[in-house]
Amino acid sequence: MNQLINSILVLLVLTGFMLLSSSRLAACIRAIAIQGVLLGILAIVIQVGQLSVAGVLLPLSSAIVKGFVLPWLLFRAMREADTVREVEPVISYNLSIIAGTAALGVSLWLGHRLTLSNQPPSSLLVPAAFFTSLVGMIVIASRQKALTQVLGYLALENGVYAFGAAVALRLPILVELGILLDVFVGVFVMGIAIFHISREFDHIDTDKLRARTARL
């Protein structure tokens, strides 16, 4: 059982690196989709032994929303904004991978230092959660396309979700549904916003948008 949890967490970390190292938006969206499905499986696997209907349905619905509905919305936004790849990130891909490795080191260190009231099922869970959030922050800070920044935000949320799975075995249903709805609406709104921005300004490059507002 512990092996399965560890394997899922290793895959989670690897999708984080996939998000950091890929210049193609499609690959990044797929990385986020895989993360969503992995987290759904993780939340179910952790509860084995004390499964309830809600305990299965909630992760399942979250996996469906994050693994299939959101990627579909993002792919649509990508098609409509007519962007295939992130052109020039502020931090190069090689540097991003190195930054990711540093983030992994920091997360492992933090994970070992942090004392939690209830022991997480795997010693890797807290570091993996921190790492996923840090990857999200790196992506938000270092990429220029609005779409990639949305992906960073989703990775950040995935990290928080994984941390939730680590500390609180079961969140209240309402809270969890609320978070899922927030994320869904967030991505939906951002998708529309990206479409309108790209139709208005011919691109979704946030750096150029800043230059434009400065001139106005």
The answer for residues whose C-beta is within 8 angstroms of residue 156's C-beta and 6 or more apart is 132, 133, 136, 137, 140
Min CB(131)–other proteins separation in Å: 10
Binding-residue total with other proteins (CB under 8 A)? 18
Which of the stretches 11-19, 138-146, 185-193, 208-216 binds other proteins when contact is defined by CB under 8 A?
11-19
CA distance 165 to 181: 18
Which residue's CB is nearer to other proteins, number 3 or number 117? 3
Which residue's CB is nearer to other proteins, number 9 or number 165? 9
Residue 3 binds to other proteins (criterion: CB under 8 A): yes
> Residue 118 CB: number of other CB atoms within 10 A?
9
- Contact (Cβ atoms closer than 8 angstroms) between residue 86 and residue 145: yes
Rg (CA), the chain: 18
- Contact (Cβ atoms closer than 8 angstroms) between residue 19 and residue 28: yes
Min CB(7)–other proteins separation in Å: 5
Secondary structure class of 216 (helix, strand, coil): coil
Q: Which of 162, 167, 98 is nearest to 130 (CA)?
A: 162
The answer for residues whose C-beta is within 8 angstroms of residue 165's C-beta and 6 or more apart is 39, 42, 43, 46, 125, 129
Given candidates 67, 100, 136, 159, which one binds other proteins under the rule CB under 8 A?
A: 100
Which residue's CB is nearer to other proteins, number 5 or number 63? 5
Which x/- pattern over 104-123 shows residues binding other proteins (rule: CB under 8 A)? xx--x---------------
Min CB(51)–other proteins separation in Å: 24
Which residue's CB is nearer to other proteins, number 112 or number 208? 112
CA dihedral 72, 76, 81, 83 (to 10 degrees): 60
**Under rule CB under 8 A, which residues in 12-31 are in contact with other proteins?**
13-14, 17, 21
Given candidates 53, 70, 76, 97, which one binds other proteins under the rule CB under 8 A?
A: 97
Residue 93 binds to other proteins (criterion: CB under 8 A): yes
Q: Give the footprint of other proteins on this chain (CB under 8 A).
A: 3, 6-7, 10, 13-14, 17, 21, 93-94, 97-98, 100-101, 104-105, 108, 124
